[in-house]
Structure 1
Amino acid sequence: MKALFIGGTGTISSAVTELAVQQGWELFLLNRGSKPVPEGCQSIIADITDEAAVAAKLQGMQFDVVADFISFTASDIERDIRLFADKTKQFIFVSSASAYQKPPRHYKTTESTPLVNPYWEYSRHKIEAEEVLQKAYRDTGLPITIVRPSHTYGNKKIPVAFYGAGGSWQIVERIKQGKPVLIHGDGTSLWTLTHNTDFAKGFVGLMGNPAAIGETVHITSDEVLTWNSIYDIIGDALGKRVDKVHVSTDFLVMCRPDLQGSLLGDKAECAVFDTSKIKRLVPSFTATKRFDQGVREAIENFERHPDWQRLDPEFDQFCDRVIEVQKSAAEQIRQRLNMNC
C-alpha cells in the first residue's frame, strides 16, 4: 500500500508517519524539506502552495491514500482536489475538533455535533474546508475521510491551556520555581488530552479502510481531566506542588485578545468525546497512554534537550501582572466594603 502525506513531521503527523512505516506502508512525504525525513520514508521536496510545481513532481504517480495535515482553508482544499482527485483511492483531510459547536449544548461531543465556532477564525476555516470536501464527495464521489483531532501532544510538546510566544516551557519553569500559575475559570471544566502515538493508531487504521470513505471521525482518548488536574499532574511529574491562581476567561481575553480563539473558543469549554465511531471503524483502536505517563515522558525529553527549553520573560511578566492586578482589585473592593459597613 502506497501513501502520500502532505506534511508528516509535525506533532500529530510524525507519530502517524512512524506507525505507517512500521506497518509496511510505502510512504512519501511532500514538504519543503526544512526537516529531515524519517527513516523509511521517501521525500518529495515541494511547497504545496506552488500547485504547478507539485503537479510536476507527482506526474505519473498514484497512491492508495493521500493525507493532508497542513491544509487550513477552503482554497487549500480546492487546490488539493485539483491535485489529487485522480491520484488517490482515499483523500484524508485533517480538520479540527475545535470546529464543534462553541459553547456546546451537551457535555459530550459526537461526530454529529453541529460545527459552529463564532470565536475562532481558524475553526471556521476548517469548517469551510470540510464543506468543500463534502460537496465534492456528494457531487463527484471523491473518496474522502475527514479526521478531527482534539488536543494532541507528544514527547516534544507539553500541553497547557495557554502560553506566550516562547511555548509552554515557561509554565514549567514557573512551577519549578514555586511561582503561581494562571488557570482560566475555576479550573473544573473537562478536557481531553490525547497522546500522538494513540492518535496514530486510529489514523493508520483509517488509511485504506473502505468503511471510512465518506466518513467524518474524531480520534481522541477516553481519559477526561479537569484543568486543575492537568496542572497538578504536570506538577507531580516535576515533583512540585502547583500554586494555582484562577482567573476569569473573559478577563484573560480582555488582557490578551489573541486568546479569544484558542481559549474562549476552545479550551475554556468542556471537551468530552464519544469515541464509539472510531472504535467501530477501527475495532483495534484504544488509547492506552495515560496523561500522567505521557507528560512525564515529555518533560524528561525536554530535560534531555536544553535547547528546547525556551524561556519567555514577556509571558512570565504577563502572568505576574495579571495576578497582581487581580489581588489589588480584590483588596480595593474589600476596603470599600469595610468603609461602607
Structure 2
Amino acid sequence: MIGASRYFGKLLVKRLQAAGHQVAVINRGSSPAPPGVEHLVVDRDDEAALITALGSRTFDVVVDQVCYTPVQAAIAARAFGGRTRRYVMTSTIEVYDPATAGLPTVAHGTLVPEGIVDPATWLVRMDLPWQDAAYLEAHYAEGKRQAEAVFAQHHGFDFAAVRSAHVLGGGAQEFTGRLAHYIAHITQGTQVIAHAEALPTVFIHYEELAGLLLWAATVTDATGPVNACSDGPLDVYGLGAVIAAQVGRKAVYRSVAAGEPASPFSFDRHYAMSNARAKDLGFSFSHTTDWLPGAVAEALDVSDAPT
C-alpha cells in the first residue's frame, strides 16, 4: 500500500491484516508503519529510488492512497508494471466538479454515474507544472482525473479507481477540520455561510470507505471507476440540522448567492455521486443518517477534551 499513514488508510491496513493478508507499506517514513507490516521508506516521486526499494518484490494488489498527479501515476505504472496483477487508486468525488472541467450538465436530483468522467479517454498533460505545490492545490481535481487516466491507459495491470465521497467520522482522526467547522459555529451560535440554494452532496464514513477499499482490493475484479458514497445525499442545511440536534443549539445561517464563497459542503453546483455501480457489483452501503450523528458525537468528544 502506498501511503496508509493516517485515517482510513491505517484502518485499511488493520483490516487487511485481520483478513490474513501480508501487507507492505510504502511511504516517506514521516510516521511509523502499523505493527506487523513491512515498511519501505522511499519517496514515490523518486522513480529510481522506488524501483530500488521494491527490489524483486511482487504483489497481488497495490492500493495507492496518495496519487495526485499524472506524473506520480506514470512513475508508479512503470515501477509496478509486471509486479502486480491489480492496482486500486483512491480517487475523489471532485473529479465530477463541473467548475473544474468541461463536463456534461447533470440535472439536479440526478446522481452522477462513473461514465461522466472516463479515464480511458481522458487527456493526459504531463507538461503542466504538476511539481508546483500551488498549481497542484488549485488543480487537485484535474490532477486526480489525469492520474486515473494514466493508470487506465497503461494496460500493465487491472486498474480500479475508488472515487470517494466526502469522508467524515473518527473524531480526532478526521484531519480536514470541516465537520469541526460546523460544530464550532453551531455550538457558539455564530453564522454558517451557506448558499441560499445549496445543492446536495454525498458523504461516506471513514470505516465504510476502508471497507470498500478492502472489497475493491480483495473481493471484486471490477475495473474502472467505482463511486463510494453512503446512501442519502445531504445539503448543508440537512448537515447542519443533524449537528444542531446533537449539540442542542439552533444553526444560524447567512445566505450568499451562487458563485460566492461559502462554508465547506455548501455547493452551488451539482455533482452528487451515484453508488449504483458498486451496489450492482455486490457492495452494500449504509445510509448517511445512520452514522452521521455518531460522527458528530465523536467530534464533540474531541472538542470537549482538555488541552
Give the alignment's TM-score, normalised by structure 1. Answer: 0.73
Structure 2: gaps spanning 5 or more residues: 100-104, 123-137
Are the equivalent residues in 2 in contact too, given 1:222–1:273 (CA < 8 A)? no
In structure 2, the CA distance between the partners of 1:171 and 1:158, relative to structure 1 (3 Å rule), is farther
2:28 aligned residue (24, 28, 32): 32
Q: Taking structure 1 as reference, are residues 105 and 280 closer, same or farther at Cα in structure 2, changes over 3 Å only? A: closer
Encode CA deviations 1:221-240: one digit per residue, 9 max, x unaligned: 11221210102212222222
| Correspondence for 1:109 | 112
Which whole-Å CA distance do the structure 1 matches of 2:75 and 2:165 have between them?
25
Distance in 1 (alpha carbons) for counterparts of 2:154 and 2:204 = 30
More deviation, 271-280/214-223: 271-280
Q: Is the radius of gyration larger for structure 1 or structure 2?
A: 1
Alpha-carbon displacement from aligned partner over 1:42-99 (angstroms, at most 9, x marks no partner): 3222221222222222101111111111111111110001111121111112222211
**Residue from 181, 184, 199 that aligns with 2:192:** 181
Identical columns (%): 21
Q: Find the counterpart in structure 1 of residue 206 from structure 2.
A: 196
CA contact (8 A) 1:73 1:125 kept: yes
Question: What amino acid does structure 2 have at the position aligned with 1:90?
Answer: R
Q: Does 2:255 correspond to 1:246? A: yes
Q: Is residue 161–residue 226 contact of structure 2 (8 Å, CA) maintained in 1? A: yes
In structure 2, what residue type is equivalent to 1:80?
A
| 1:285 correspondence with 2:284 | yes
Partner of 1:207, secondary structure, is: helix
Q: Per the alignment, in what secondary structure is the counterpart of residue 65 of structure 1? A: strand
Aligned-pair Cα RMSD in Å: 2.9
Point out the more displaced range, 100-109 or 123-132. Answer: 100-109
Equivalence map 1:165-314=2 (5 Å):
169-183=180-194, 185-186=195-196, 188-209=198-219, 211-212=221-222, 214-252=223-261, 267-281=267-281, 283-287=282-286, 289-304=290-305, 306=307
Please state if 1:146 is matched with 2:161: yes
Is the 1:192–1:225 Cα contact (8 Å) retained in structure 2? yes
Name whichever of 193-202 and 234-243 sits farther off.
234-243
Taking the aligned partners of 1:86 and 1:187, their CA distance within structure 2 comes to: 50
With 126-135 and 99-108 compared, the bigger mean Cα shift is at 99-108
The alpha-carbon distance between structure 1 residues 151 and 70, as it changes in their structure 2 partners (threshold 3 A), is same
Which residue identity does 2:214 align to in structure 1? V
- Alignment-derived partner of residue 94 in structure 1: 90
Contact in 2 for aligned 1:158/1:169 (Cα 8 Å): no
Work out the number of aligned pairs and report it.
281
- Name the SS of the counterpart of 1:26 in structure 2: coil
Contact 2:167 2:204 survives alignment (8 Å): yes
Q: Give the secondary-structure state (helix, strand or coil) at the position aligned to 2:50.
A: helix
> Is the alpha carbon distance of 1:292 and 1:167 closer, same or farther for their aligned partners in structure 2, counting shifts above 3 Å?
closer
Which runs of 5 or more residues in structure 1 are unaligned? 254-258, 307-341
Deviations 1:274-329 (A, max 9, x none): 22211233x253236521222222332443374xxxxxxxxxxxxxxxxxxxxxxx
Is the alpha carbon distance of 1:154 and 1:38 closer, same or farther for their aligned partners in structure 2, counting shifts above 3 Å?
farther
Residues 298 and 41 of structure 1: CA distance in aligned 2, closer, same or farther (over 3 Å) = farther
